[in-house]
Protein backbone atom coordinates (compact mmCIF):
# COMPACT_ATOMS: atom_id res chain seq x y z
CA UNK A 1 0.00 0.00 0.00
CA UNK A 2 1.30 3.45 -0.92
CA UNK A 3 1.24 5.73 2.11
CA UNK A 4 -0.88 8.85 1.69
CA UNK A 5 1.14 12.08 1.53
CA UNK A 6 1.37 14.17 4.66
CA UNK A 7 -0.70 17.36 4.69
CA UNK A 8 1.17 20.45 3.55
CA UNK A 9 1.18 22.33 6.85
CA UNK A 10 3.71 24.89 5.55
CA UNK A 11 1.50 26.19 2.75
CA UNK A 12 -1.54 26.19 5.04
CA UNK A 13 0.37 28.26 7.60
CA UNK A 14 1.46 30.70 4.91
CA UNK A 15 -2.15 31.12 3.70
CA UNK A 16 -3.30 31.62 7.28
CA UNK A 17 -0.68 34.31 7.88
CA UNK A 18 -1.79 36.14 4.68
CA UNK A 19 -5.45 36.31 5.68
CA UNK A 20 -4.85 36.83 9.42
CA UNK A 21 -4.35 40.64 9.20
CA UNK A 22 -7.59 41.12 7.23
CA UNK A 23 -9.56 38.84 9.56
CA UNK A 24 -8.10 40.52 12.63
CA UNK A 25 -8.90 43.97 11.25
CA UNK A 26 -12.57 43.31 10.47
CA UNK A 27 -13.15 41.16 13.55
CA UNK A 28 -11.54 43.62 15.95
CA UNK A 29 -13.19 46.66 14.41
CA UNK A 30 -16.64 45.02 14.46
CA UNK A 31 -16.21 44.05 18.12
CA UNK A 32 -15.14 47.57 19.09
CA UNK A 33 -17.98 49.13 17.11
CA UNK A 34 -20.47 46.99 19.07
CA UNK A 35 -18.96 47.32 22.55
CA UNK A 36 -17.40 50.81 22.45
CA UNK A 37 -18.42 54.26 21.37
CA UNK A 38 -21.75 54.33 23.19
CA UNK A 39 -19.90 55.73 26.17
CA UNK A 40 -16.37 56.14 27.45
CA UNK A 41 -16.26 54.11 30.65
CA UNK A 42 -13.54 53.55 33.21
CA UNK A 43 -13.35 49.85 32.27
CA UNK A 44 -12.68 50.72 28.62
CA UNK A 45 -9.87 53.07 29.62
CA UNK A 46 -8.32 50.45 31.94
CA UNK A 47 -8.33 47.89 29.10
CA UNK A 48 -6.72 50.35 26.68
CA UNK A 49 -4.19 51.26 29.37
CA UNK A 50 -3.33 47.57 29.58
CA UNK A 51 -2.71 47.47 25.82
CA UNK A 52 -0.40 50.48 26.12
CA UNK A 53 1.50 48.98 29.07
CA UNK A 54 1.94 45.68 27.22
CA UNK A 55 3.25 47.52 24.13
CA UNK A 56 5.73 49.42 26.32
CA UNK A 57 6.92 46.18 27.92
CA UNK A 58 7.44 44.57 24.51
CA UNK A 59 9.47 47.56 23.27
CA UNK A 60 11.71 47.36 26.35
CA UNK A 61 12.14 43.59 25.83
CA UNK A 62 13.02 44.04 22.14
CA UNK A 63 15.62 46.66 23.02
CA UNK A 64 17.17 44.36 25.62
CA UNK A 65 17.13 41.43 23.18
CA UNK A 66 18.91 43.50 20.55
CA UNK A 67 21.60 44.58 23.00
CA UNK A 68 22.22 40.96 24.05
CA UNK A 69 22.33 39.80 20.42
CA UNK A 70 24.91 42.46 19.56
CA UNK A 71 27.29 40.94 22.12
CA UNK A 72 27.24 37.54 20.41
CA UNK A 73 29.33 36.82 17.33
CA UNK A 74 28.48 33.31 16.16
CA UNK A 75 29.11 32.44 12.52
CA UNK A 76 26.19 31.81 10.20
CA UNK A 77 26.97 28.08 10.31
CA UNK A 78 26.77 27.87 14.10
CA UNK A 79 23.97 30.39 14.69
CA UNK A 80 20.89 28.37 15.74
CA UNK A 81 17.72 28.82 13.71
CA UNK A 82 15.28 31.03 15.57
CA UNK A 83 11.78 29.62 16.06
CA UNK A 84 8.91 31.57 14.49
CA UNK A 85 7.44 32.62 17.82
CA UNK A 86 10.79 34.11 18.90
CA UNK A 87 11.51 35.93 15.64
CA UNK A 88 8.02 37.30 14.88
CA UNK A 89 5.96 36.81 18.03
CA UNK A 90 6.85 40.12 19.75
CA UNK A 91 6.10 42.09 16.59
CA UNK A 92 2.72 40.40 16.17
CA UNK A 93 1.99 41.22 19.81
CA UNK A 94 2.89 44.87 19.15
CA UNK A 95 0.61 44.84 16.12
CA UNK A 96 -2.20 43.47 18.28
CA UNK A 97 -1.71 46.13 20.98
CA UNK A 98 -1.54 49.04 18.54
CA UNK A 99 -4.48 47.63 16.58
CA UNK A 100 -6.62 47.42 19.72
CA UNK A 101 -5.72 50.98 20.69
CA UNK A 102 -6.25 52.48 17.23
CA UNK A 103 -9.56 50.66 16.76
CA UNK A 104 -11.04 51.83 20.08
CA UNK A 105 -9.71 55.39 19.74
CA UNK A 106 -11.06 55.59 16.18
CA UNK A 107 -14.54 54.64 17.44
CA UNK A 108 -14.35 57.18 20.29
CA UNK A 109 -13.17 60.04 18.07
CA UNK A 110 -15.61 59.13 15.29
CA UNK A 111 -18.54 59.43 17.73
CA UNK A 112 -17.26 62.86 18.79
CA UNK A 113 -16.65 64.26 15.27
CA UNK A 114 -19.36 66.06 13.34
CA UNK A 115 -17.61 68.91 11.52
CA UNK A 116 -15.23 68.96 8.57
CA UNK A 117 -11.84 69.33 10.28
CA UNK A 118 -12.66 66.76 12.95
CA UNK A 119 -13.83 64.28 10.30
CA UNK A 120 -10.53 64.74 8.43
CA UNK A 121 -8.68 64.01 11.67
CA UNK A 122 -10.71 60.85 12.25
CA UNK A 123 -10.12 59.68 8.66
CA UNK A 124 -6.38 59.99 9.29
CA UNK A 125 -6.74 57.91 12.43
CA UNK A 126 -8.74 55.35 10.44
CA UNK A 127 -5.97 55.18 7.83
CA UNK A 128 -3.51 54.33 10.62
CA UNK A 129 -5.91 51.65 11.86
CA UNK A 130 -5.96 49.98 8.43
CA UNK A 131 -2.22 50.42 7.84
CA UNK A 132 -1.42 48.86 11.21
CA UNK A 133 -2.71 45.50 10.00
CA UNK A 134 0.05 45.37 7.37
CA UNK A 135 2.98 46.88 9.29
CA UNK A 136 4.30 43.83 11.12
CA UNK A 137 7.62 43.71 9.24
CA UNK A 138 8.14 47.48 9.62
CA UNK A 139 7.78 47.23 13.40
CA UNK A 140 11.41 46.07 13.38
CA UNK A 141 12.27 49.75 12.80
CA UNK A 142 12.31 51.12 16.32
CA UNK A 143 11.78 54.74 15.27
CA UNK A 144 8.39 53.80 13.78
CA UNK A 145 7.33 51.79 16.82
CA UNK A 146 8.27 54.62 19.17
CA UNK A 147 6.24 57.04 17.06
CA UNK A 148 3.19 54.74 17.15
CA UNK A 149 3.60 54.14 20.88
CA UNK A 150 3.87 57.87 21.56
CA UNK A 151 0.80 58.64 19.43
CA UNK A 152 -1.26 55.98 21.23
CA UNK A 153 -0.08 57.27 24.63
CA UNK A 154 -1.06 60.84 23.78
CA UNK A 155 -4.47 59.97 22.36
CA UNK A 156 -5.30 57.69 25.28
CA UNK A 157 -4.22 60.23 27.91
CA UNK A 158 -6.35 62.83 26.11
CA UNK A 159 -9.28 60.73 27.37
CA UNK A 160 -7.90 59.52 30.70
CA UNK A 161 -6.64 62.77 32.24
CA UNK A 162 -9.78 64.89 31.58
CA UNK A 163 -11.76 61.90 32.88
CA UNK A 164 -9.78 61.93 36.14
CA UNK A 165 -9.72 65.73 36.41
CA UNK A 166 -13.47 66.02 35.71
CA UNK A 167 -12.83 68.86 33.26
CA UNK A 168 -12.50 69.44 29.51
CA UNK A 169 -10.43 72.58 29.91
CA UNK A 170 -7.86 73.14 27.17
CA UNK A 171 -5.15 72.93 29.84
CA UNK A 172 -5.84 69.22 30.34
CA UNK A 173 -5.53 68.52 26.62
CA UNK A 174 -2.15 70.25 26.48
CA UNK A 175 -1.02 68.53 29.67
CA UNK A 176 -2.15 65.05 28.56
CA UNK A 177 -0.53 65.42 25.13
CA UNK A 178 2.81 66.43 26.64
CA UNK A 179 2.45 63.69 29.28
CA UNK A 180 1.97 61.05 26.54
CA UNK A 181 5.05 62.26 24.67
CA UNK A 182 7.00 62.39 27.94
CA UNK A 183 5.97 58.82 28.78
CA UNK A 184 7.29 57.58 25.43
CA UNK A 185 10.51 59.58 25.91
CA UNK A 186 11.03 58.15 29.41
CA UNK A 187 10.47 54.58 28.23
CA UNK A 188 12.95 55.15 25.39
CA UNK A 189 15.54 56.42 27.88
CA UNK A 190 15.26 53.34 30.13
CA UNK A 191 15.14 50.81 27.28
CA UNK A 192 18.50 49.04 26.93
CA UNK A 193 20.48 50.47 24.04
CA UNK A 194 17.89 53.21 23.41
CA UNK A 195 17.19 51.84 19.91
CA UNK A 196 15.63 54.13 17.30
CA UNK A 197 14.96 57.87 17.52
CA UNK A 198 12.40 59.50 19.82
CA UNK A 199 12.28 62.94 18.14
CA UNK A 200 9.34 62.02 15.85
CA UNK A 201 7.19 61.60 18.97
CA UNK A 202 7.67 65.26 19.86
CA UNK A 203 6.87 66.25 16.27
CA UNK A 204 3.59 64.31 16.59
CA UNK A 205 2.86 66.09 19.88
CA UNK A 206 3.39 69.46 18.21
CA UNK A 207 1.03 68.41 15.41
CA UNK A 208 -1.67 67.41 17.91
CA UNK A 209 -1.39 70.73 19.75
CA UNK A 210 -1.68 72.61 16.45
CA UNK A 211 -4.69 70.51 15.41
CA UNK A 212 -6.37 71.31 18.72
CA UNK A 213 -5.77 75.04 18.25
CA UNK A 214 -7.62 74.98 14.89
CA UNK A 215 -10.52 72.93 16.37
CA UNK A 216 -9.65 69.80 14.35
CA UNK A 217 -9.74 67.53 17.42
CA UNK A 218 -13.04 67.01 19.27
CA UNK A 219 -13.14 68.00 22.98
CA UNK A 220 -12.73 64.46 24.30
CA UNK A 221 -13.86 62.66 26.44
CA UNK A 222 -17.27 64.05 25.40
CA UNK A 223 -19.10 61.71 23.02
CA UNK A 224 -22.04 62.87 20.90
CA UNK A 225 -25.03 60.56 21.30
CA UNK A 226 -27.52 62.55 19.23
CA UNK A 227 -28.50 66.02 18.02
CA UNK A 228 -31.82 66.83 16.37
CA UNK A 229 -34.11 69.68 15.27
CA UNK A 230 -37.92 69.60 15.56
CA UNK A 231 -41.21 71.42 16.00
CA UNK A 232 -42.34 70.52 19.50
CA UNK A 233 -40.46 69.17 22.51
CA UNK A 234 -42.20 67.48 25.43
CA UNK A 235 -40.66 65.88 28.53
CA UNK A 236 -42.56 62.90 29.99
CA UNK A 237 -41.31 60.38 32.55
CA UNK A 238 -37.72 61.53 32.24
CA UNK A 239 -37.67 61.32 28.42
CA UNK A 240 -37.75 64.07 25.82
CA UNK A 241 -40.03 63.55 22.80
CA UNK A 242 -39.24 65.65 19.74
CA UNK A 243 -41.68 65.99 16.82
CA UNK A 244 -39.90 66.04 13.45
CA UNK A 245 -40.97 66.05 9.83
CA UNK A 246 -40.85 62.55 8.39
CA UNK A 247 -39.43 61.78 4.98
CA UNK A 248 -41.60 60.11 2.26
CA UNK A 249 -41.41 56.33 2.19
CA UNK A 250 -39.15 56.25 -0.88
CA UNK A 251 -36.38 58.16 0.95
CA UNK A 252 -35.43 55.11 2.99
CA UNK A 253 -31.89 56.16 3.97
CA UNK A 254 -33.04 58.75 6.53
CA UNK A 255 -36.12 59.23 8.72
CA UNK A 256 -36.48 63.00 8.88
CA UNK A 257 -36.50 65.86 6.39
CA UNK A 258 -33.49 68.16 6.12
CA UNK A 259 -35.81 71.01 5.06
CA UNK A 260 -38.04 72.25 7.86
CA UNK A 261 -41.35 74.08 7.36
CA UNK A 262 -42.08 76.56 10.14
CA UNK A 263 -45.17 78.70 10.65
CA UNK A 264 -44.71 82.39 11.58
CA UNK A 265 -44.03 82.73 15.31
CA UNK A 266 -43.63 78.95 15.80
CA UNK A 267 -40.76 77.71 17.95
CA UNK A 268 -38.00 75.53 16.52
CA UNK A 269 -36.25 73.27 19.04
CA UNK A 270 -32.75 71.82 19.07
CA UNK A 271 -31.88 69.06 21.54
CA UNK A 272 -28.52 67.32 21.91
CA UNK A 273 -27.52 64.31 24.02
CA UNK A 274 -23.82 64.41 24.95
CA UNK A 275 -22.17 61.66 26.99
CA UNK A 276 -19.56 62.63 29.57
CA UNK A 277 -17.90 60.37 32.16
CA UNK A 278 -19.24 60.38 35.71
CA UNK A 279 -17.71 63.19 37.76
CA UNK A 280 -17.19 65.49 34.78
CA UNK A 281 -19.15 68.74 34.88
CA UNK A 282 -18.92 71.56 32.37
CA UNK A 283 -20.99 74.13 30.53
CA UNK A 284 -21.97 73.70 26.88
CA UNK A 285 -23.62 76.07 24.41
CA UNK A 286 -26.04 75.82 21.48
CA UNK A 287 -24.63 78.19 18.87
CA UNK A 288 -27.29 79.12 16.25
CA UNK A 289 -25.86 80.44 12.97
CA UNK A 290 -27.51 81.64 9.75
CA UNK A 291 -25.91 81.73 6.31
CA UNK A 292 -26.18 85.20 4.83
CA UNK A 293 -25.46 85.52 1.10
CA UNK A 294 -23.29 88.59 1.66
CA UNK A 295 -21.73 88.01 5.08
CA UNK A 296 -21.45 84.21 5.12
CA UNK A 297 -22.21 82.43 8.42
CA UNK A 298 -23.57 84.90 10.96
CA UNK A 299 -23.98 84.13 14.66
CA UNK A 300 -27.56 84.66 15.86
CA UNK A 301 -27.42 83.40 19.47
CA UNK A 302 -25.35 81.27 21.85
CA UNK A 303 -27.46 79.62 24.56
CA UNK A 304 -25.72 77.83 27.43
CA UNK A 305 -26.62 74.85 29.62
CA UNK A 306 -24.76 72.88 32.29
CA UNK A 307 -23.68 69.28 31.69
CA UNK A 308 -23.15 66.64 34.38
CA UNK A 309 -21.56 63.37 33.29
CA UNK A 310 -22.55 59.81 34.05
CA UNK A 311 -25.88 59.29 32.27
CA UNK A 312 -25.66 56.32 29.86
CA UNK A 313 -27.81 57.99 27.21
CA UNK A 314 -25.97 61.29 27.48
CA UNK A 315 -26.97 64.53 29.17
CA UNK A 316 -29.79 66.25 27.26
CA UNK A 317 -29.67 70.00 26.71
CA UNK A 318 -32.06 71.94 24.51
CA UNK A 319 -32.74 75.45 23.19
CA UNK A 320 -35.32 77.02 20.89
CA UNK A 321 -35.66 79.97 18.51
CA UNK A 322 -38.61 81.88 17.03
CA UNK A 323 -39.11 84.10 13.97
CA UNK A 324 -36.22 82.56 12.08
CA UNK A 325 -35.21 83.76 8.62
CA UNK A 326 -35.72 81.16 5.85
CA UNK A 327 -32.49 79.73 4.50
CA UNK A 328 -29.52 77.64 5.65
CA UNK A 329 -28.89 77.23 9.38
CA UNK A 330 -26.57 75.33 11.70
CA UNK A 331 -26.73 74.63 15.41
CA UNK A 332 -23.37 73.73 16.94
CA UNK A 333 -22.85 72.31 20.43
CA UNK A 334 -19.74 74.06 21.73
CA UNK A 335 -17.65 74.19 24.88
CA UNK A 336 -17.09 77.42 26.79
CA UNK A 337 -13.88 78.12 24.83
CA UNK A 338 -15.58 77.48 21.47
CA UNK A 339 -14.52 73.86 20.77
CA UNK A 340 -17.05 72.10 18.54
CA UNK A 341 -18.72 69.01 19.99
CA UNK A 342 -21.47 68.45 17.41
CA UNK A 343 -23.04 70.26 14.45
CA UNK A 344 -26.51 69.94 12.90
CA UNK A 345 -27.26 71.57 9.54
CA UNK A 346 -30.75 72.20 8.19
CA UNK A 347 -32.66 74.40 5.78
CA UNK A 348 -35.65 76.45 6.84
CA UNK A 349 -38.44 76.80 4.28
CA UNK A 350 -40.67 79.86 4.00
CA UNK A 351 -43.64 77.54 3.35
CA UNK A 352 -45.78 76.48 6.35
CA UNK A 353 -46.06 72.81 7.26
CA UNK A 354 -48.93 71.02 5.49
CA UNK A 355 -51.75 69.88 7.77
CA UNK A 356 -51.42 66.28 6.59
CA UNK A 357 -47.60 66.17 6.67
CA UNK A 358 -46.30 62.92 8.24
CA UNK A 359 -44.44 63.39 11.54
CA UNK A 360 -41.77 61.38 13.33
CA UNK A 361 -41.36 61.35 17.12
CA UNK A 362 -37.81 60.91 18.35
CA UNK A 363 -37.14 59.96 21.96
CA UNK A 364 -33.98 61.06 23.74
Q: Go through the domains of the chain in sequence order and give each one's CATH number.
A: 9-213 (no CATH), 223-363 (2.60.40.1930)
Average pLDDT over residues 119-138: 69
Q: Give, rounded to a whole angstrom, the gap between the first and last alpha carbons of the chain.
A: 74
Which distant-in-sequence residues (6+ apart) come within 8 Å of 354 by Cβ?
A: 261
Percent of the residues in the chain that have a pLDDT greater than 70, as a whole number: 79
Of residues 204 and 247, which shows the higher confidence score? 204
Asked if residues 277 and 310 have their Cβ atoms less than 8 Å apart, the reply is: yes
Could you tell me the CA-to-CA distances from 206 to 38, 119, 200 in Å, in that order?
30, 20, 10
Considering only CA atoms, give the Rg of the chain: 26
Which residues lie below 8 Å from residue 41, measured CB to CB, with a gap of 6+?
A: 277
CB 217 within 8 A of CB 121: yes
Of 5-14, 159-168, 234-243, the least confident: 5-14
**pLDDT level of residue 110 (50, 70, 90 thresholds):** confident
Mean pLDDT of 227-239: 89
Instruction: Using pLDDT thresholds of 50, 70 and 90, give the confidence band for residue 77.
Output: very low
Residue 139 clears pLDDT 50, i.e. is over it = yes
Distance CA 28, CA 25 (A): 5
Q: Which residues contact 335 (CB under 8 A, 6 or more apart)?
A: 168, 219, 282, 283, 284, 285, 341
**Please, which residues have CB within 8 angstroms of residue 352's CB and are 6 or more apart in sequence?**
261, 262, 263, 264
- Count CB-CB contacts under 10 A for residue 9: 8
**What local confidence, expressed as pLDDT, does residue 183 receive?**
96
pLDDT at 210 over 70: yes
How confident is the model at residue 86, as a pLDDT? 66
Which is more confident, 186 or 355?
186
CA separation for the pair 289, 146 (Å, rounded): 43
Query: 334 or 74, which is more confident?
Result: 334
- pLDDT band of 9, cuts 50, 70, 90: very low
CA neighbours closer than 13 Å in the CB half-sphere of residue 130:
5
Question: Which pLDDT tens digit goes with each residue over 186-209?
Answer: 999 999 989 889 999 999 999 999
The answer, yes or no, to whether residue 98 has pLDDT greater than 80, is: yes
Per mean pLDDT, which range of 58-72, 89-103, 114-128, 173-187 is the poorest? 114-128
Pairing, β 315-321 against β 268-275: antiparallel
Q: What digits encode the pLDDT tens for the residues 28-69?
A: 555 555 555 445 567 778 888 999 999 999 999 998 888 887
Res 301: pLDDT: 93
pLDDT of residue 242: 92
Amino acid sequence: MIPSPLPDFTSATQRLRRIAPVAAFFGGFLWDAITLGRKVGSTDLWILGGYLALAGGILWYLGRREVLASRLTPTEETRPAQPWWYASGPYLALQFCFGGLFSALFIFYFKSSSHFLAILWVLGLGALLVANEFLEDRYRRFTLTWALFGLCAMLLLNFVIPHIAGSISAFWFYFSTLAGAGLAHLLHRITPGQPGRITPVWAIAAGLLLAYLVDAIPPVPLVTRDIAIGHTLVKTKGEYRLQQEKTPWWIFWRKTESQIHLAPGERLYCIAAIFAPAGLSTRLFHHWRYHDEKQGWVSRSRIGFNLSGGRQGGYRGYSFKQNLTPGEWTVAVETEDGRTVAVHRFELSDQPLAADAPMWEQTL
